[in-house]
Structure 1
Amino acid sequence: MIAVTGATGQLGRLVIEALLRTEAPGSVAALVRSTDKAADLSALGVVVRSADYDKPETLGPALEGVDRLLLISSSEVGKRAEQHKAVIAAAKAAGVGLVAYTSILRADTSPMALAEEHNQTEAALASAGVRHVVLRNGWYTENYAGGISAAPEHGAMIGSAGEGRIAAASRRDYAEAAAAVLVSAEDQAGKVYELAGDDAFTMAELAAEVARQSGKPVVYNDLPEAAYKEALVGMGLPDGLAAILADSDAKAAEGALFDDGRALSALIGRPTTPVAKIVADILRG
């Protein structure tokens, strides 16, 4: 059985969808906090099990009989490392044969603040002695959805990424890569995949693409990190999250989100989704 944590999340649902192209629904388990939100998956024949990162007592039963597990990183920055360690401990106790973990691009050398908890999780996997594979995901192009959709009205996109090139790819691309690793006949234990989009762009280039497709003038305004953080807070983001996003942008300016290894397209057997298509999808709403 293949299990996916966070299976009702944006990435998790796409992984389940990809798995069902080749696997019988009854051999796929969706591990979720709220089973009510997974009613559609249950209707497809997917095994739905309650699993809460913050409730370790739910994890053992959820992992019973699981051969391969995709541990999708928690969205709760600041709590992730401990949450992940609970899952890893449960996976070891349950005898899970392989744990795949969604980390961040070049986690071991990344200067991004977001990399810290991913590094801690990778270390926990190694110290636990569980067979594991690390999927170091780059940026999701959809991370810019809010800015892209608002840009035609405001005439601008903002950030702190300077002229840094960002090798983003779609969530679906990363989901298909995860599914490919989970169903692979090759032994994946010990592998580390640096995953990123085939074609990188600067924020100015992204703004130009939005302008081209919307038919309205859109420019990119680059801000100092502190100013960008304050702008995000002004948009309603919590202070801590705004700081992390601003840090990520500033580190992107230094190349933290660029990679040209094309491991992602190699895994999924096709080119990664062009940024122009993501922009078109977002502008269509």
Structure 2
Amino acid sequence: MNTIIFTVIAALLIGFILGVLLGLFKKIFSVSVDPKISKVRDSLPGVNCGGCGYAGCDSFAAAVVSGDAPASGCVAGGPSVAASLNSILGLSADGADNVKKAAVLACRGTVSCAGTKGVYNGVQTCKAVQLSVNGIKLCASGCIGLGDCVASCLFGALSMGEDGLPHVDYKKCVGCGKCEKACPKKLFTLVNVELKGPMALCSCRSDNKPQIRKDCSAGCFKCGICAKKCPEQCIDLLSGIPHIDYEKCTACGTCVSSCPDKVLKLMSEVIAG
């Protein structure tokens, strides 16, 4: 009986001593944290998506307070979070930095219009296919369609359609850029959701017209009609696909209606779904 009592007293004494020592160590070795960092962190959505370029929300919060990252860097939070961070830091909001963006897929190579090289039986990821056989479609620029982008999206804004292409739910997309980084073909582009004007939904830059038709019936044929019809002369094909000068573009839609391949589409229609 005495042994049990002694053991209990010894355990309590050791626990008390360890508690005191831990308290002292915490006080001696504690690192002071700027209270602004905690406020900034609490204002962030906390999804740790990495769209800001940092490992997570904690790192981004510290970078914002130190001045190494802009208050508008949280793409998941958008303008409202940027305004909140600017308020905490005592800064004026810069509207140019608070633009909401969304991801757009520059490919229309569905299973019904894009030819394939054959059957692929390797690792079922776009990255693996790209590294091993440079894609499975005849068009070297075509979407591989195995959903690396879908797997990377933390917001559930991407899903694979029956047509073999990923589809964006613009009500959920925050423009974090995860899909842009995950796509080995670099087919996603982050665009301003308020962009006025068209975009070419094709990434094929080949000038071999017969081959383009053979590889994908939805590909840009490089006919140049869009550039010829544009009343503002703001389209060129120097990069291999229609490139629009948005400072000149009035979003009249002439190029969209005149494109025989329907490659061009107004961004307001794309984002609206």
Q: TM-score, normalised by structure 1?
A: 0.23
Bigger radius of gyration? 2
Choose between structure 1 and 2 for higher RCO, CA contacts under 8 A separated by at least 6 residues: 1
- Higher share in helix: 1
TM-score normalised by L of structure 2: 0.23
